[in-house]
Amino acid sequence: MPLKKPTTILAIWTFLLLLLGFTFKSSLEMMVSTWINVEEYGHGFFIPAISIYFLWIRRHELKFVEQFKDVWPGFVIVIIGLILGFLGGLATLKTVEQYAFIVTLTGLFTIAFGLQGLRVGAIPLLFLLFMVPFPSFILNNLSAKLQLISSWLGVEFIRACDIMVYLEGNVIDLGVYKLQVVEACSGLRYLFPLASLSFLCAYLFKGPFWQKALIFLSSAPLTIFMNSFRIGVIGVMVDNWGTEMAEGFLHDFEGWVVFLLCMALLFVEMWLFSRLSGKKVAFNELVLIPNEWSGNAKQLNLEVKFNKSIFLLLALLIGSAIGSGFIQEREDIIPARKAFLNFPLQIDKWEGRNDYLSQKYLDELRLTDYAIINYVQPESASTINFYSAYYEAQRRGVAVHSPKGCMPGDGWQITQFGQLNFPDIIIDGNELELNRAVIQKGESKQLVYYWFQQRGRTITNEYLVKWYLFYDALTMNRTDGALIRLVTSVGQTEDLEKADQRLQAFIKELAPKLPAYIPGKLAVK
Protein backbone atom coordinates (compact mmCIF):
# COMPACT_ATOMS: atom_id res chain seq x y z
CA MET A 1 0.00 0.00 0.00
CA PRO A 2 1.23 3.59 -0.71
CA LEU A 3 1.32 4.46 2.99
CA LYS A 4 4.16 1.99 3.47
CA LYS A 5 6.46 3.82 1.06
CA PRO A 6 9.60 5.09 2.85
CA THR A 7 9.07 8.66 1.65
CA THR A 8 5.50 8.68 3.00
CA ILE A 9 6.55 7.29 6.38
CA LEU A 10 9.41 9.78 6.66
CA ALA A 11 6.98 12.59 5.76
CA ILE A 12 4.69 11.49 8.62
CA TRP A 13 7.62 11.44 11.06
CA THR A 14 8.62 14.93 9.89
CA PHE A 15 5.06 16.11 10.50
CA LEU A 16 5.15 14.54 13.99
CA LEU A 17 8.31 16.47 14.82
CA LEU A 18 6.71 19.69 13.59
CA LEU A 19 3.68 18.99 15.79
CA LEU A 20 5.98 18.48 18.75
CA GLY A 21 7.70 21.80 18.01
CA PHE A 22 4.34 23.57 17.76
CA THR A 23 3.19 22.06 21.07
CA PHE A 24 6.24 23.47 22.85
CA LYS A 25 6.54 26.56 20.63
CA SER A 26 6.51 29.28 23.33
CA SER A 27 8.98 27.51 25.63
CA LEU A 28 11.37 26.80 22.73
CA GLU A 29 11.18 30.44 21.61
CA MET A 30 12.05 31.57 25.13
CA MET A 31 14.96 29.12 25.26
CA VAL A 32 16.40 30.44 21.99
CA SER A 33 15.90 34.00 23.22
CA THR A 34 17.95 33.14 26.32
CA TRP A 35 20.73 31.71 24.12
CA ILE A 36 20.82 35.00 22.20
CA ASN A 37 20.56 37.43 25.12
CA VAL A 38 22.25 35.71 28.08
CA GLU A 39 26.00 35.21 27.71
CA GLU A 40 26.05 32.22 30.08
CA TYR A 41 23.94 30.27 27.56
CA GLY A 42 25.43 31.48 24.28
CA HIS A 43 26.72 27.94 23.69
CA GLY A 44 23.13 26.64 23.60
CA PHE A 45 22.98 26.72 19.79
CA PHE A 46 25.75 24.11 19.57
CA ILE A 47 24.11 21.55 21.87
CA PRO A 48 21.38 20.20 19.50
CA ALA A 49 23.84 20.29 16.56
CA ILE A 50 26.33 18.14 18.50
CA SER A 51 23.59 15.69 19.58
CA ILE A 52 22.39 15.31 15.98
CA TYR A 53 25.97 14.74 14.83
CA PHE A 54 26.54 11.93 17.35
CA LEU A 55 23.28 10.26 16.32
CA TRP A 56 24.21 10.61 12.65
CA ILE A 57 27.60 8.93 12.94
CA ARG A 58 25.90 5.96 14.66
CA ARG A 59 22.96 5.80 12.29
CA HIS A 60 23.97 2.34 11.03
CA GLU A 61 23.12 1.01 14.52
CA LEU A 62 19.54 2.30 14.37
CA LYS A 63 16.66 0.18 13.04
CA PHE A 64 13.00 1.15 12.70
CA VAL A 65 10.74 -1.17 14.70
CA GLU A 66 7.56 -2.83 13.40
CA GLN A 67 5.89 -4.53 16.37
CA PHE A 68 3.79 -2.61 18.91
CA LYS A 69 5.40 -4.54 21.74
CA ASP A 70 8.64 -2.77 20.81
CA VAL A 71 7.15 0.73 20.87
CA TRP A 72 5.01 0.84 24.01
CA PRO A 73 7.92 2.00 26.26
CA GLY A 74 8.24 5.00 23.94
CA PHE A 75 4.54 5.79 24.36
CA VAL A 76 4.96 5.75 28.14
CA ILE A 77 7.82 8.25 27.85
CA VAL A 78 5.82 10.46 25.43
CA ILE A 79 2.80 10.53 27.76
CA ILE A 80 5.01 11.42 30.76
CA GLY A 81 6.61 14.22 28.71
CA LEU A 82 3.28 15.62 27.53
CA ILE A 83 1.80 15.55 31.05
CA LEU A 84 4.90 17.32 32.37
CA GLY A 85 4.61 19.88 29.56
CA PHE A 86 0.89 20.36 30.28
CA LEU A 87 1.56 21.04 33.96
CA GLY A 88 4.45 23.36 33.11
CA GLY A 89 2.23 25.18 30.61
CA LEU A 90 -0.57 25.69 33.15
CA ALA A 91 1.93 27.07 35.65
CA THR A 92 3.86 28.86 32.84
CA LEU A 93 7.10 27.46 34.20
CA LYS A 94 9.07 27.47 30.97
CA THR A 95 11.96 25.44 32.38
CA VAL A 96 9.56 22.58 33.15
CA GLU A 97 8.17 22.80 29.61
CA GLN A 98 11.67 22.77 28.11
CA TYR A 99 12.64 19.64 30.01
CA ALA A 100 9.28 18.13 29.03
CA PHE A 101 10.13 18.74 25.36
CA ILE A 102 13.34 16.70 25.72
CA VAL A 103 11.45 13.88 27.51
CA THR A 104 8.80 13.80 24.76
CA LEU A 105 11.46 13.87 22.03
CA THR A 106 13.16 10.91 23.73
CA GLY A 107 9.82 9.08 23.67
CA LEU A 108 9.44 9.70 19.93
CA PHE A 109 12.95 8.39 19.34
CA THR A 110 12.11 5.25 21.34
CA ILE A 111 8.90 4.67 19.36
CA ALA A 112 10.85 4.92 16.11
CA PHE A 113 13.88 2.77 17.05
CA GLY A 114 12.83 0.84 20.15
CA LEU A 115 14.78 0.27 23.34
CA GLN A 116 17.78 -0.93 21.35
CA GLY A 117 17.86 2.39 19.52
CA LEU A 118 17.44 4.25 22.82
CA ARG A 119 20.62 2.59 24.12
CA VAL A 120 22.45 4.05 21.12
CA GLY A 121 20.90 7.51 21.43
CA ALA A 122 20.75 7.80 25.23
CA ILE A 123 23.84 9.98 25.71
CA PRO A 124 23.20 12.35 22.76
CA LEU A 125 19.62 12.81 23.98
CA LEU A 126 20.79 13.30 27.57
CA PHE A 127 23.26 15.91 26.30
CA LEU A 128 20.28 18.03 25.20
CA LEU A 129 19.66 18.85 28.88
CA PHE A 130 22.61 21.25 28.72
CA MET A 131 20.71 23.51 26.33
CA VAL A 132 17.97 24.25 28.92
CA PRO A 133 18.62 27.43 30.96
CA PHE A 134 18.39 27.13 34.74
CA PRO A 135 15.40 28.83 36.43
CA SER A 136 16.25 32.42 37.37
CA PHE A 137 15.99 31.88 41.14
CA ILE A 138 18.53 29.03 41.00
CA LEU A 139 20.75 31.06 38.67
CA ASN A 140 20.63 34.09 41.00
CA ASN A 141 21.44 32.03 44.12
CA LEU A 142 24.23 30.16 42.34
CA SER A 143 25.68 33.39 40.95
CA ALA A 144 25.65 35.05 44.39
CA LYS A 145 27.47 32.11 46.00
CA LEU A 146 30.05 31.90 43.22
CA GLN A 147 30.69 35.66 43.48
CA LEU A 148 31.51 35.30 47.17
CA ILE A 149 33.76 32.26 46.67
CA SER A 150 35.56 33.82 43.70
CA SER A 151 36.05 37.09 45.58
CA TRP A 152 37.51 35.31 48.62
CA LEU A 153 39.91 33.14 46.60
CA GLY A 154 40.88 36.08 44.38
CA VAL A 155 41.77 38.15 47.45
CA GLU A 156 43.87 35.28 48.83
CA PHE A 157 45.85 35.29 45.57
CA ILE A 158 46.34 39.08 45.79
CA ARG A 159 47.59 38.73 49.37
CA ALA A 160 49.98 36.00 48.25
CA CYS A 161 51.50 38.63 45.93
CA ASP A 162 52.27 40.74 49.03
CA ILE A 163 49.59 43.36 48.31
CA MET A 164 47.48 44.82 51.12
CA VAL A 165 43.82 44.18 50.36
CA TYR A 166 40.52 44.15 52.24
CA LEU A 167 37.42 42.17 51.22
CA GLU A 168 33.93 43.41 52.04
CA GLY A 169 31.35 41.09 50.49
CA ASN A 170 32.00 41.29 46.74
CA VAL A 171 34.05 44.51 46.97
CA ILE A 172 37.84 44.17 46.85
CA ASP A 173 39.41 47.25 48.50
CA LEU A 174 42.98 47.86 47.35
CA GLY A 175 43.20 51.19 49.17
CA VAL A 176 43.42 53.55 46.21
CA TYR A 177 41.10 51.40 44.07
CA LYS A 178 37.97 49.40 44.78
CA LEU A 179 36.91 46.51 42.55
CA GLN A 180 33.42 45.04 42.65
CA VAL A 181 33.02 41.40 41.65
CA VAL A 182 29.73 41.79 39.79
CA GLU A 183 27.37 39.04 38.65
CA ALA A 184 29.11 38.84 35.25
CA CYS A 185 32.34 37.86 37.08
CA SER A 186 30.76 34.99 39.02
CA GLY A 187 32.20 32.42 36.59
CA LEU A 188 28.85 31.11 35.31
CA ARG A 189 29.68 32.12 31.73
CA TYR A 190 32.59 29.62 31.94
CA LEU A 191 30.85 27.00 34.06
CA PHE A 192 27.98 26.11 31.73
CA PRO A 193 30.02 25.79 28.50
CA LEU A 194 32.79 23.94 30.36
CA ALA A 195 30.28 21.56 31.98
CA SER A 196 28.90 20.76 28.50
CA LEU A 197 32.40 20.22 27.14
CA SER A 198 33.47 18.05 30.09
CA PHE A 199 30.35 15.88 29.62
CA LEU A 200 31.37 15.24 25.99
CA CYS A 201 34.96 14.56 27.03
CA ALA A 202 33.80 12.09 29.68
CA TYR A 203 31.55 10.40 27.07
CA LEU A 204 34.40 9.93 24.60
CA PHE A 205 37.18 9.24 27.12
CA LYS A 206 38.32 5.60 27.20
CA GLY A 207 38.47 4.80 30.88
CA PRO A 208 36.45 3.40 33.81
CA PHE A 209 33.19 5.04 34.85
CA TRP A 210 34.64 6.65 37.99
CA GLN A 211 37.19 8.51 35.88
CA LYS A 212 34.48 9.67 33.48
CA ALA A 213 32.41 10.89 36.44
CA LEU A 214 35.35 12.84 37.90
CA ILE A 215 36.12 14.42 34.52
CA PHE A 216 32.57 15.76 34.34
CA LEU A 217 32.31 16.81 38.00
CA SER A 218 35.69 18.57 37.93
CA SER A 219 34.31 21.28 35.63
CA ALA A 220 32.83 23.19 38.61
CA PRO A 221 35.97 23.40 40.80
CA LEU A 222 38.11 24.11 37.72
CA THR A 223 35.88 27.04 36.80
CA ILE A 224 35.81 28.46 40.34
CA PHE A 225 39.59 28.16 40.75
CA MET A 226 40.46 29.71 37.38
CA ASN A 227 37.88 32.48 37.71
CA SER A 228 39.28 33.34 41.15
CA PHE A 229 42.78 33.35 39.63
CA ARG A 230 41.51 35.77 36.96
CA ILE A 231 40.05 38.09 39.62
CA GLY A 232 43.33 37.93 41.53
CA VAL A 233 45.36 38.78 38.41
CA ILE A 234 43.06 41.73 37.66
CA GLY A 235 43.52 42.94 41.25
CA VAL A 236 47.31 42.77 40.95
CA MET A 237 47.25 44.60 37.58
CA VAL A 238 44.91 47.31 38.92
CA ASP A 239 47.16 47.82 41.94
CA ASN A 240 50.14 48.35 39.63
CA TRP A 241 48.66 50.08 36.56
CA GLY A 242 45.22 51.46 37.46
CA THR A 243 41.53 50.62 36.95
CA GLU A 244 41.77 50.53 33.13
CA MET A 245 43.24 47.03 33.60
CA ALA A 246 39.78 45.87 34.76
CA GLU A 247 37.82 47.38 31.89
CA GLY A 248 37.13 47.01 28.20
CA PHE A 249 38.86 44.65 25.79
CA LEU A 250 41.52 43.50 28.26
CA HIS A 251 38.87 42.38 30.75
CA ASP A 252 37.00 40.36 28.08
CA PHE A 253 40.24 38.98 26.64
CA GLU A 254 41.25 37.71 30.08
CA GLY A 255 37.91 35.88 30.23
CA TRP A 256 38.66 34.00 26.99
CA VAL A 257 42.15 33.14 28.24
CA VAL A 258 40.68 31.72 31.46
CA PHE A 259 38.23 29.54 29.52
CA LEU A 260 41.01 28.20 27.29
CA LEU A 261 43.11 27.46 30.39
CA CYS A 262 40.15 25.57 31.91
CA MET A 263 39.95 23.46 28.74
CA ALA A 264 43.71 22.81 28.88
CA LEU A 265 43.49 21.71 32.53
CA LEU A 266 40.60 19.41 31.64
CA PHE A 267 42.75 17.69 29.02
CA VAL A 268 45.66 17.46 31.46
CA GLU A 269 43.31 15.74 33.90
CA MET A 270 42.28 13.20 31.24
CA TRP A 271 45.93 12.63 30.30
CA LEU A 272 46.80 11.92 33.95
CA PHE A 273 43.90 9.47 34.21
CA SER A 274 45.10 7.67 31.08
CA ARG A 275 48.60 7.41 32.59
CA LEU A 276 47.10 6.11 35.83
CA SER A 277 45.44 3.34 33.79
CA GLY A 278 48.81 2.40 32.26
CA LYS A 279 48.04 3.87 28.83
CA LYS A 280 50.37 6.22 26.97
CA VAL A 281 47.85 8.30 25.06
CA ALA A 282 48.74 11.46 23.17
CA PHE A 283 46.73 14.62 23.86
CA ASN A 284 45.14 14.53 20.40
CA GLU A 285 43.88 10.97 21.00
CA LEU A 286 42.21 11.49 24.39
CA VAL A 287 38.69 12.10 23.02
CA LEU A 288 38.67 10.31 19.66
CA ILE A 289 35.38 9.01 18.29
CA PRO A 290 35.51 5.17 18.31
CA ASN A 291 36.08 3.62 14.87
CA GLU A 292 33.18 1.21 15.30
CA TRP A 293 30.70 4.10 15.47
CA SER A 294 31.24 5.12 11.87
CA GLY A 295 32.91 2.01 10.44
CA ASN A 296 29.81 0.69 8.68
CA ALA A 297 28.22 4.02 7.86
CA LYS A 298 29.11 3.74 4.16
CA GLN A 299 27.27 0.41 3.94
CA LEU A 300 24.19 1.97 5.58
CA ASN A 301 20.91 0.41 4.58
CA LEU A 302 18.44 1.85 7.09
CA GLU A 303 15.12 0.30 6.11
CA VAL A 304 12.18 2.60 6.92
CA LYS A 305 9.46 0.34 8.31
CA PHE A 306 5.78 1.04 8.84
CA ASN A 307 4.19 0.65 12.27
CA LYS A 308 0.46 1.21 12.81
CA SER A 309 1.17 2.78 16.20
CA ILE A 310 2.21 5.89 14.29
CA PHE A 311 -1.51 6.77 13.97
CA LEU A 312 -1.94 6.66 17.76
CA LEU A 313 1.11 8.88 18.14
CA LEU A 314 -0.27 11.26 15.50
CA ALA A 315 -3.59 11.56 17.37
CA LEU A 316 -1.77 12.10 20.66
CA LEU A 317 0.40 14.92 19.31
CA ILE A 318 -2.46 16.62 17.44
CA GLY A 319 -4.44 16.65 20.70
CA SER A 320 -1.48 18.05 22.63
CA ALA A 321 -0.88 20.73 19.97
CA ILE A 322 -4.52 21.86 20.20
CA GLY A 323 -4.36 21.79 24.01
CA SER A 324 -1.20 23.88 24.07
CA GLY A 325 -3.00 26.60 22.12
CA PHE A 326 -5.65 26.89 24.85
CA ILE A 327 -2.97 26.93 27.58
CA GLN A 328 -1.11 29.81 25.90
CA GLU A 329 -4.30 31.89 25.94
CA ARG A 330 -4.70 31.39 29.70
CA GLU A 331 -4.00 34.64 31.55
CA ASP A 332 -3.12 35.25 35.19
CA ILE A 333 -5.77 36.48 37.57
CA ILE A 334 -4.45 39.81 38.84
CA PRO A 335 -6.15 40.65 42.17
CA ALA A 336 -7.12 44.20 43.09
CA ARG A 337 -4.89 45.99 45.59
CA LYS A 338 -3.79 49.40 46.80
CA ALA A 339 -0.55 50.83 45.42
CA PHE A 340 2.39 51.16 47.82
CA LEU A 341 2.38 54.87 46.96
CA ASN A 342 -0.45 55.15 49.50
CA PHE A 343 1.20 53.10 52.24
CA PRO A 344 0.85 54.91 55.60
CA LEU A 345 3.87 56.92 56.74
CA GLN A 346 2.51 57.09 60.30
CA ILE A 347 2.34 53.74 62.13
CA ASP A 348 1.59 54.14 65.82
CA LYS A 349 4.42 56.38 67.12
CA TRP A 350 6.62 55.73 64.10
CA GLU A 351 7.02 58.45 61.45
CA GLY A 352 8.14 57.36 57.98
CA ARG A 353 9.87 58.84 54.97
CA ASN A 354 9.91 57.25 51.50
CA ASP A 355 13.10 56.10 49.84
CA TYR A 356 13.59 54.84 46.28
CA LEU A 357 15.51 52.22 44.28
CA SER A 358 17.85 53.28 41.48
CA GLN A 359 17.01 52.25 37.92
CA LYS A 360 19.69 49.53 37.74
CA TYR A 361 18.05 47.70 40.66
CA LEU A 362 14.59 48.12 39.14
CA ASP A 363 15.86 46.61 35.88
CA GLU A 364 17.29 43.66 37.80
CA LEU A 365 14.31 43.02 40.11
CA ARG A 366 11.57 43.62 37.49
CA LEU A 367 8.98 44.10 40.24
CA THR A 368 5.48 45.51 39.83
CA ASP A 369 5.41 47.79 42.86
CA TYR A 370 7.55 48.40 45.92
CA ALA A 371 7.89 50.42 49.11
CA ILE A 372 11.02 51.53 50.95
CA ILE A 373 10.13 53.54 54.04
CA ASN A 374 12.49 54.61 56.82
CA TYR A 375 10.51 54.85 60.05
CA VAL A 376 11.80 56.83 63.02
CA GLN A 377 10.47 56.95 66.57
CA PRO A 378 11.20 60.52 67.76
CA GLU A 379 11.12 59.60 71.46
CA SER A 380 13.93 57.04 71.27
CA ALA A 381 15.54 57.96 67.91
CA SER A 382 15.20 54.27 66.94
CA THR A 383 14.91 53.48 63.23
CA ILE A 384 13.29 50.68 61.21
CA ASN A 385 13.65 50.24 57.48
CA PHE A 386 10.56 48.68 55.85
CA TYR A 387 10.93 47.19 52.36
CA SER A 388 8.40 45.24 50.33
CA ALA A 389 8.61 44.15 46.70
CA TYR A 390 5.33 43.10 45.07
CA TYR A 391 4.94 41.07 41.86
CA GLU A 392 1.54 40.80 40.20
CA ALA A 393 2.83 37.76 38.25
CA GLN A 394 5.94 35.65 38.91
CA ARG A 395 6.40 34.05 35.51
CA ARG A 396 8.95 33.96 32.69
CA GLY A 397 11.93 34.41 35.01
CA VAL A 398 10.36 37.19 37.12
CA ALA A 399 10.38 36.27 40.80
CA VAL A 400 10.98 37.52 44.33
CA HIS A 401 14.67 37.75 45.29
CA SER A 402 15.70 36.33 48.66
CA PRO A 403 17.59 38.66 51.06
CA LYS A 404 19.63 35.67 52.21
CA GLY A 405 21.48 35.71 48.89
CA CYS A 406 21.75 39.51 48.63
CA MET A 407 23.05 40.42 52.11
CA PRO A 408 26.47 38.72 51.83
CA GLY A 409 27.02 40.35 48.44
CA ASP A 410 26.70 43.79 50.07
CA GLY A 411 29.44 42.92 52.54
CA TRP A 412 27.17 41.91 55.45
CA GLN A 413 28.08 38.67 57.19
CA ILE A 414 25.19 36.60 58.59
CA THR A 415 26.23 35.76 62.18
CA GLN A 416 22.88 34.29 63.28
CA PHE A 417 20.00 32.86 61.27
CA GLY A 418 16.74 31.13 62.26
CA GLN A 419 12.95 31.32 62.25
CA LEU A 420 10.45 32.85 64.68
CA ASN A 421 6.75 32.10 65.19
CA PHE A 422 4.18 34.65 66.38
CA PRO A 423 0.81 32.97 67.16
CA ASP A 424 -0.67 36.34 68.22
CA ILE A 425 0.11 38.08 64.90
CA ILE A 426 -2.35 36.98 62.20
CA ILE A 427 -2.05 37.89 58.51
CA ASP A 428 -4.77 36.58 56.14
CA GLY A 429 -5.89 34.07 58.76
CA ASN A 430 -2.40 32.58 59.28
CA GLU A 431 -0.09 33.09 62.22
CA LEU A 432 3.09 34.85 61.25
CA GLU A 433 6.33 32.91 60.76
CA LEU A 434 9.45 34.76 59.61
CA ASN A 435 13.19 34.52 59.15
CA ARG A 436 15.41 36.26 61.70
CA ALA A 437 19.01 37.18 60.78
CA VAL A 438 21.70 39.06 62.64
CA ILE A 439 24.13 40.62 60.16
CA GLN A 440 27.39 42.45 60.73
CA LYS A 441 29.77 44.57 58.65
CA GLY A 442 32.80 45.78 60.57
CA GLU A 443 31.50 47.43 63.77
CA SER A 444 27.96 47.83 62.37
CA LYS A 445 25.30 45.32 63.35
CA GLN A 446 21.70 44.97 62.17
CA LEU A 447 18.72 42.76 62.96
CA VAL A 448 16.70 41.61 59.95
CA TYR A 449 13.23 40.05 59.83
CA TYR A 450 11.83 38.90 56.48
CA TRP A 451 9.27 36.57 54.98
CA PHE A 452 7.48 35.89 51.69
CA GLN A 453 3.80 36.85 51.63
CA GLN A 454 2.36 34.68 48.84
CA ARG A 455 -1.38 34.51 48.11
CA GLY A 456 -2.44 34.27 51.74
CA ARG A 457 0.59 32.28 52.97
CA THR A 458 3.52 33.47 55.04
CA ILE A 459 6.54 31.45 53.88
CA THR A 460 10.14 31.49 55.11
CA ASN A 461 11.80 29.13 52.61
CA GLU A 462 12.49 30.43 49.07
CA TYR A 463 12.29 26.92 47.59
CA LEU A 464 8.90 26.36 49.21
CA VAL A 465 7.85 29.63 47.55
CA LYS A 466 8.55 27.99 44.18
CA TRP A 467 6.49 24.92 45.04
CA TYR A 468 3.45 26.99 46.05
CA LEU A 469 3.97 29.17 43.00
CA PHE A 470 3.63 26.05 40.84
CA TYR A 471 0.67 24.71 42.87
CA ASP A 472 -1.27 27.99 42.94
CA ALA A 473 -0.68 28.62 39.24
CA LEU A 474 -2.39 25.30 38.55
CA THR A 475 -5.21 25.57 41.09
CA MET A 476 -5.84 29.34 41.34
CA ASN A 477 -4.29 30.72 38.15
CA ARG A 478 -2.44 33.24 40.32
CA THR A 479 1.29 33.86 40.77
CA ASP A 480 1.28 37.20 42.59
CA GLY A 481 3.27 37.62 45.78
CA ALA A 482 5.62 39.80 47.78
CA LEU A 483 8.70 39.91 49.96
CA ILE A 484 8.52 41.80 53.26
CA ARG A 485 11.72 42.81 55.02
CA LEU A 486 12.30 44.84 58.20
CA VAL A 487 15.74 46.03 59.34
CA THR A 488 16.79 47.83 62.50
CA SER A 489 20.29 48.87 63.56
CA VAL A 490 21.71 47.40 66.76
CA GLY A 491 23.88 49.77 68.77
CA GLN A 492 27.30 48.59 69.97
CA THR A 493 26.10 48.51 73.58
CA GLU A 494 22.51 47.53 72.80
CA ASP A 495 21.17 44.12 73.68
CA LEU A 496 19.75 42.07 70.78
CA GLU A 497 16.64 41.31 72.79
CA LYS A 498 15.77 45.00 72.83
CA ALA A 499 16.10 45.17 69.01
CA ASP A 500 13.85 42.09 68.76
CA GLN A 501 11.23 43.74 70.95
CA ARG A 502 11.37 46.87 68.78
CA LEU A 503 10.73 44.95 65.54
CA GLN A 504 8.07 42.73 67.07
CA ALA A 505 6.14 45.69 68.46
CA PHE A 506 6.33 47.36 65.03
CA ILE A 507 5.11 44.22 63.20
CA LYS A 508 2.01 44.04 65.44
CA GLU A 509 1.03 47.51 64.22
CA LEU A 510 2.11 46.79 60.62
CA ALA A 511 0.35 43.44 60.09
CA PRO A 512 -3.28 44.72 59.83
CA LYS A 513 -2.26 47.17 57.11
CA LEU A 514 -0.55 44.66 54.78
CA PRO A 515 -3.56 42.77 53.22
CA ALA A 516 -4.79 45.89 51.43
CA TYR A 517 -1.45 46.13 49.58
CA ILE A 518 -0.57 42.42 49.30
CA PRO A 519 -3.70 40.44 48.29
CA GLY A 520 -4.52 37.27 50.20
CA LYS A 521 -5.89 33.92 49.13
CA LEU A 522 -9.48 35.07 48.66
CA ALA A 523 -8.65 38.25 46.77
CA VAL A 524 -10.33 38.63 43.36
CA LYS A 525 -9.86 40.89 40.39
For residue 166, the surrounding DSSP H or E stretch is strand 166-168
Task: Indicate if the pLDDT at residue 274 is higher than 90.
Answer: no
Amino acid at 403: P
What is the length of the chain? 525
Rounded to whole angstroms, the Cα distance separating 457 from 482 reads 10
Domain boundaries, the chain: 2-133+304-328, 136-285, 340-516
Cβ contact 286:271 at 8 Å: yes
Q: What is the pLDDT of residues 196-214, one digit of tens each?
A: 999 999 999 888 899 999 9
Return the CATH class of domain 340-516: alpha beta
Q: What is the pLDDT of residues 134-153, one digit of tens each?
A: 877 677 677 777 877 888 88
User: pLDDT class for 184, splitting at 50, 70, 90?
Assistant: low
Q: Which DSSP string corresponds to 259-325?
A: HHHHHHHHHHHHHHHHHHTT----GGGTTPPPHHHHTTGGG--------THHHHHHHHHHHHHHHHH
User: pLDDT class for 524, splitting at 50, 70, 90?
Assistant: low
For the ranges 64-68, 80-84, 242-246, 322-326, the lowest mean pLDDT is seen at 242-246
Task: Indicate if the pLDDT at residue 3 is higher than 60.
Answer: no
Rounded to whole angstroms, the Cα distance separating 239 from 390 reads 42
Strand, coil or helix: 237 = helix
Kindly report the pTM of this predicted structure. Answer: 0.75
Rounded to whole angstroms, the Cα distance separating 114 from 65 reads 6
Cβ contact 511:425 at 8 Å: yes
Averaged over 423-434, what is the pLDDT? 90
Residue 1 is predicted with a pLDDT of 42
